[in-house]
Structure 1
Amino acid sequence: MVDLLKSLKTQQLPNPESSDQGCGHSSEPMFYYFAYGSCMCPVDLKRSLGESAHQYVVGVARLNGYKLGFYYRSPHRGCGCLDIVKDPNTYVEGVLYCLPLRLSDRLDIREDVSKGGYQHELITVTVDQKVYTNVRTYSVVNKLARELAPNDWYSNVVLRGASTCGLTEKYFWQLFYHIYKLQSYNYNYQECG
């Protein structure tokens, strides 16, 4: 984990001015992608992309004007999964990737785009006070009316990604307690029901 953090800190950042043309550090077409859930973990993202995602990490990014919530019931995991919802009073932290365009379809498959799970959303994020525009992220198409607790596997992947990629300590603990509260409520509700 220490080696991963060192490698993330020493990577060169792509030029944010070129975000709408691609990331600028490769000869192939690239795009920026903001991950705020299980895709924050490069190891887990590798499962879907079919290749290592470590070299594509730009850094910890901040999305202003949104909040996180578990408003999607994953048909694959059978639990709540993360979504972003507009909220002018808060922000979401995540990982900004600069991915080859050839991996776009694999990311869409992971996010169930063709089945109406998530959809592309273009956003603006900041990394170390640099602004990146036209960044792709995913938001839930048909949001649940209230949050659904994630299972332990999904929670662990999200928290591992948040920790490994260096989200702020304050944000990490907010995320941890939010998950804990949802899972405790779900457990207590099942016990009583």
Structure 2
Amino acid sequence: MSTPSSDSQDSSTQFPHLSRAVLSIQQPLQQEPTFYYFAYGSCMCPVDLKRSLGEKTHKYVIGPATLKGYRLSFNRKSVLRNCGVLDVVPDPTSSIEGVLYRLPLRLSDALDEREEVPRGGYRREMIEVRAHGRLYKNVRTYVVVEKLVKELPPNDWYFNVVLRGAVTCGLSEPYVWKLFNHMHQLQQRHWQTESLRSA
């Protein structure tokens, strides 16, 4: 009786790394639960979002997205930043551009904390946005709970981080200019008012 040749040996003994690769294909890793998040203010900047969530967020960016039926407004004063911060307000004639993320569910509480949900600053709202020609449903965003009667301008830091996020994540040039002008005009009006008061 002849002994089997080396060619007929079990491939798993010859190439153990191949058997591991096949096993990993047959048994895919469990995917981490995620949620969609639409950012329209400072969270558009992945670098700034990392500061709150504790890990790099560039890899979670889907891209620029559009929210119809809302407009931006500086309806809240941030105690932390000591300036006006952004909010979204229903407006059937307007639309907003922002950044769509797909974040791990484990970051949900940290995001709520950043948006001051436990302290009544913002609340979650579920919306629909369009990105890359696709409609995304059940997307989380945040809206101000107690809105100011009059818009409060951002400070220079908030102004810059919002613009950096808009440019970095590829919002349209006309929208970026619109955002810039809105913030600039608010600051100009505020400075004019303050100068009149001190005159």
TM-score, scaled to structure 2: 0.84
- Please point out which of 60, 66, 74 is paired with 2:64: 60
Residue segments in structure 2 that go unaligned for 5+ positions in a row: 1-29
Q: C-alpha distance in 2, partners of 1:37/1:156?
A: 11
Give the aligned partner of residue 190 of structure 1: 194
In structure 2, the residue matched to 1:173 is 177
Determine which structure has more spread, i.e. the larger CA radius of gyration. 2
**Does residue 129 of structure 2 align to residue 125 of structure 1?**
yes
Q: 1:46 aligned to 2:50?
A: yes
Runs of 4+ aligned structure 1 residues displaced above 6 Å come to none
Partner of 2:82, secondary structure, is coil
Q: Does 1:160 align with 2:164?
A: yes
Q: Distance in 1 between matches of 2:163 and 2:147?
A: 22
Give the residue type in structure 2 aligned to 1:52.
Answer: K
Superposed counterparts of 1:86-105, under 5 Å: 86-105=90-109
Q: Counterpart in 1 of 2:76? A: 72
Q: Which residue number corresponds to residue 7 of structure 1?
A: none
Aligned to 2:33: 29
- Distance in structure 2 (CA, Å) of the matches to 1:180 and 1:30: 36
Match of 1:82 in 2: 86
- In structure 2, distance between residues paired with 1:69 and 1:129: 26
**CA offset at residue 37 of structure 1?**
0.2
Match of 2:140 among 136, 143, 159: 136
Which of 146, 150, 158 does residue 150 from structure 2 map onto?
Answer: 146
| 1:129 Cα deviation after fit | 1.7
Tell me the TM-score normalised to structure 1 length: 0.86
Per-residue deviation, residues 35-79 of structure 1 (Å, max 9, x unmatched): 000000000000000000000000100000000010010011110
CA distance in 2, matches of 1:38, 1:147: 17
Which of the numbers 93, 112, 117 marks the counterpart of 2:116? 112
Structure 1 regions of 5+ residues with no counterpart?
A: 1-25
**1:4 equivalent in structure 2:** none
Q: How many residues align?
A: 168
Work out the CA distance in 2 between the residues paired with 1:60 and 1:89. Answer: 20
- 1:146 deviates by 1.1
Q: Secondary structure at the match of 1:77?
A: coil
RMSD: 0.7
Q: 1:109 & 1:155 partners in 2: Cα distance? A: 22
